[in-house]
Amino acid sequence: MTSLSDVPLSVLDLSPVVSGSDVRGALQCTLDLAKHTESLGYNRYWLAEHHNMPGIASSATAVLIGQVAAATETIRVGSGGVMLPNHAPLIVAEQFGTLEAFHPGRIDLGIGRAPGSDQRTALAIRGPGGLSAENFPQQLAELREYFEPGEGRAVRAAPAEGNKPPVWLLGSSGFSAQLAGQLGLPFSFAHHFSAENTIPAVQIYRNAFRPSEVLQEPYVMLGVSVIAAETDDRARWLAGPGGLTFLSLRRGRPIPLPTPEEAEAYPYTEMDLAFIEERFDSNIAGSPETVRKGLETLLADTDADELMITTMVHDHEDRRRSYEIVADLAK
């Protein structure tokens, strides 16, 4: 049985904007957390692309990756992920080729096909009749081609040629799992918001896997929501703001991440509470022993090769402490 000490641990950061603070504060916390988790031995630090959300400051993902990579020394830094239908493949290749040139051997290019936003925002990003997720495999092939030598090609992504970061596919269903397997690419699954699809998608990926020049065997990383604290009660209290944030998002009124006190005082209906419980049932929040059991159960169920931990709490010190606890569990 795979134990927690057997797999690398990584970080997924959305640069949360919390109530009482602002984007500048969120970005400074991201830089601090990146340096802190690097010192704790985490393997990767990925930033997520989301748009039109007042509680998330990581929208300009490539820009933020550059800042995090410049502020750290050894940890791999990447996108979790770039939502490819939002961008021309040429531009993504130029951006990540440039990042790889600045930080050789430390950049990851994680690619997703969701909009990372609502439909109106997707339209604002892509324009009428613009990019679409329907031709995602073709977009991905075009993107990967730009990293190869381009002599004779009419359009070249000059910074990308010779500066090729590892490409990952991200997913929350079977589509990207199948494609990642067929292309022989590493696969990162969003267990933290699509837990019911985790085991089927991982199986699809492994069954579809074909060895490639970049990967000889399947490699699965799972995104997992974890809040670790000294006791179960405190961890559950710290987790309260995440539930209220998601409830507000579902109602079309996204908010900055509230305080635990604000979340506790909110007048939830029974339907609200049931919705939050169902949505966060797979998230792991608790004492060190509770977190250990939760993560090792997930490893036993999936045989994942790596875990990417995302922790959304209001207070930055609580966030730092949560990552410390998880790192200690893996020793």
What the chain holds in terms of domains, given with CATH numbers, is 4-231+288-329 (3.20.20.30)
Say what the pLDDT of residue 27 is.
98
- Whether pLDDT at 280 is above 70: yes
Predicted confidence (pLDDT) at residue 1 exceeds the cutoff of 80? no
Cβ atoms of 225 and 310 within 8 Å: the answer is: yes
Q: What is the mean pLDDT of residues 107-112?
A: 97
Torsion of CA 123, 310, 79, 170, to 10 degrees: -70
Asked if residue 27 lies in contact with residue 58, where contact means CB atoms within 8 angstroms, the answer is no
Q: Which residue has the tokens 């559950």?
A: 236
Rounded to the nearest integer, the mean pLDDT of the chain is 94
Out of 120-129, 248-257, 274-283, 317-326, least confident range = 120-129
Strands 44-47 and 76-79 come out as parallel
- pLDDT number for residue 281: 86
In whole angstroms, what is the distance from residue 187 CA to residue 243 CA?
A: 27
Length of the chain counted residue by residue: 331
Whether residue 116 has pLDDT greater than 60: no
Q: Are 304 and 202 in contact (CB under 8 A)?
A: yes
Tokens found for residue 247 = 């409830």
| pTM, full prediction | 0.95
Greater confidence (121 vs 244) lies with 244
- Give the angle 92-177-295 at the CA atoms, nearest 5°: 100
Per-residue confidence at 49, pLDDT binned at 50, 70, 90?
very high
- Amino acid identity, position 295: L
- pLDDT of residue 130 exceeding 60, the answer is no
The CA-atom distances, in angstroms, between 138 and each of 81, 94, 113, 153 are 18, 18, 12, 17
Tokens of 229: 């604290």
pLDDT of the residue at 279: 84
